[in-house]
Amino acid sequence: MNPLIDFPQNLHGSLAFDKIQPEHFLPALEHWITVSEQRQDAIVSNPELPTFENTIEALEFCTEELNLVSSCFFNLNSAETNAQIQEIARTFSPKLTAFSSQTLLNEPLFLRIKSVFEQDQSDLSGEQKRLLKETYEGYVRNGALLQGEDRERLKSLNEELSTLGLKFGEHVLGETQAFEYHCTDAAELKGLPQDDIDAAAEAARQKDKEGYLLGLDMPTYIAVMKYADSSVLRKHFYTAYASRGAGSNEFNNEQVVTDLVNLRLERAKLLGFDSHAALTLSKRMARTPETVMEFLDHLKGVAAPAAQKDLLEVSAFAEGEGAQLPLNAWDFSYWSEKLKKSKLSLDDQALKPYFKLENVLEGAFEVAGRLFGLKFVPQSDIPVYHSDVDAYEVYDADGEFLSLFYADFFPRDGKRAGAWMTSYRSMSTRNGQAIRPHISIVCNFTKPTATKPSLLTFNEVTTLFHEFGHALHGMMAQGTYPSLTGTSVYWDFVELPSQIMENWCYQPEALALFARHYETGEVLPQSYIDKIKESQTFLEGYMTLRQLNFGYLDLSWHARTEPFSGSVEAHEEMATKETSLFPSLAGTVTSTAFSHIFQGGYSAGYYSYKWAEVLDADAFERFEEEGIFNETVARDFAVVLSSGGTVAPDELYRNFRGRDPKVDALLKRAGIAA
């Protein structure tokens, strides 16, 4: 039996992770591609005139199982991969891409879609009209109007891009995992929190080594950059992290970046657009690269002077403590952390005991309960793909089952760095019956030890709430068609639900629900809460400029209208010179490990983090004005979360706020208003 073909009757239709093996994926993929093709053939050969039901709706559901299998595979390839899965991916991804291209370039199928699109739509619901519009435009944007050699070239480009994206990610993961820093003298680690030293000692023991072993996983990297007293050690880690994919080894991504950029440009031009950014942004709130550039430039005008001020403040403090100026890039986090401790009397290590992971997660659950009436129930009968993963049933205010929720919090071999939310199954409605979603959040927090639970930095607390906001967007979805529900929204709108949830981490009323000392049970003192609130503006000019730096770099690759050749490092230095506060270090390159834009879905879209910050600050201002747990405001925002892509994002936002968003609230919150 293949559990990805003969799906077991698990609770809530959950995937049989306890039975799924790598060798199941390719047979399941091929099976469901065949079934999907047969369903498409049935749509095309239907002798009846094309209608919304027999064409658009039938097409929407014809890949239901295929989507489930592919979601499972790609999620595991990110969270629990191994050499076998990575090898399978090299076949799996091109096969899936080829099927997608074949579907989007199926001319008889497109002619039926076009026929429905050109019919009178007055009898269709708003959701149906939106699905019809998105389907038709999606086909056109993916080459349905191409003919002959152009059509074949597009298929080839799609497959090449799919393969290159996988290769990029494998290289970044491979180089991250290959890094080890081994030492036997604890003095080298002076300044690091004891938790991190203990973890390094445990890592060494597990590999039968003396002393301490540190990797390049995100918690370790951040700890070294913030706390290690040795500038030499900080530089070593900074260089290793910032040069991933740019070294003279098998993990080099420079040619991969060049190929991805040029093939994306070729694909965009084939489809009638000047650039990959123009193609991508045509289905975003921003609409055009020019709008994005104006947006970035406007924020830069405010953020750059504020960032320079932040740098001068940190530099002056560091010099007063005996540091040599100018500061290097690997010194900034270290001295800014000390400045924060001095200026705000706020120390991440002093805060961590109040943020036990389990308590923070329960706090997120409680906030969701107070806002939206949700209840989370641990469920041990639902199979999971790793022992670190916990599964929950989620119920709404009426006690109706809403969603499955998986939580996967700790780093391990085979799991990529960072934090993300993902979906195994989207919400849909079939024959009047709601098919509820299966949602997961994946993070990389410090693992508990034999003597201590997992204690989060405040930044990790906001990360958890951020990803939980994405999860709420998926879990609370309502609608009929899976391509329009949950997080299936325009990319520069998708971060609103996640980023707005971070605001509750700064509110005393919310912190009181979960911020308590893991040993004594003491509630986080008000003095700490005041400092956390004050910290919202700490170095925000610097942080804003850093985000803009990534946005400009992304656009420099994807708004170009001519193919790229030459040095990736030189291009990057030129593209970011106006937003870089430190001189570049030879051999360090962001682009070669910039997974968001070269492996994830953020190509020509990294600006959307700041775009959504404008939305989230403006939207949360209404909560601040009327109450952070105000029932009316929460009910109105629940409509934003549950509607997904069934309503245009501009309309959703205006319905909630009563007007278009303004940048004022963001600048005020950041303390960098002009």
* Six-digit token string for 178: 């290959």
Measured CA to CA, the distance from residue 233 to residue 200 in angstroms comes to: 15
Cα distances (angstroms) measured from residue 58 to each of 69, 134, 152, 512, 523? 19, 15, 26, 49, 55
SS3 string, 497-548, reads HHHHHHHHHHCHHHHCCCCECCCCCCECCHHHHHHHHHHCCCCHHHHHHHHH
Measured CA to CA, the distance from residue 512 to residue 516 in angstroms comes to: 8
Residue 365's CB: how many other CB atoms inside 10 A? 20
DSSP 242-299: HTTT-SSSTT--HHHHHHHHHHHHHHHHHTT-SSHHHHHHTTSSS-SHHHHHHHHHHH
Measured CA to CA, the distance from residue 638 to residue 649 in angstroms comes to: 14
Give me the helix-helix angle, 64-79 and 25-45, nearest 10°.
150
Residue 385: CA atoms inside 13 Å, Cβ hemisphere, count? 24
Q: How open is the CA angle 447-547-590, to the nearest 5 degrees?
A: 75
Spatial neighbors of 41 by CB under 8 A, at least 6 apart, are none
Catalytic-labelled residue, pool 127, 170, 175, 467: 467
Active site residue 467: yes
Residue 397's CB: how many other CB atoms inside 10 A? 12
Short-list 136, 147, 138, 145, CA closest to 55: 136
**Are residues 222 and 411 in contact, defined by beta-carbon separation less than 8 angstroms?**
no
Measured CA to CA, the distance from residue 331 to residue 582 in angstroms comes to: 10
Measured CA to CA, the distance from residue 26 to residue 43 in angstroms comes to: 26
Measured CA to CA, the distance from residue 100 to residue 106 in angstroms comes to: 10
Residue 2: CA atoms inside 13 Å, Cβ hemisphere, count? 14
DSSP state for residue 55 in the 8-state scheme: I
Q: What amino acid occupies position 72? A: C
Q: In terms of residues, how long is the chain?
A: 674
Measured CA to CA, the distance from residue 39 to residue 444 in angstroms comes to: 41
3-state helix, strand, coil in the chain (%, to 5): 60, 5, 35
Residues annotated as catalytic are: 467
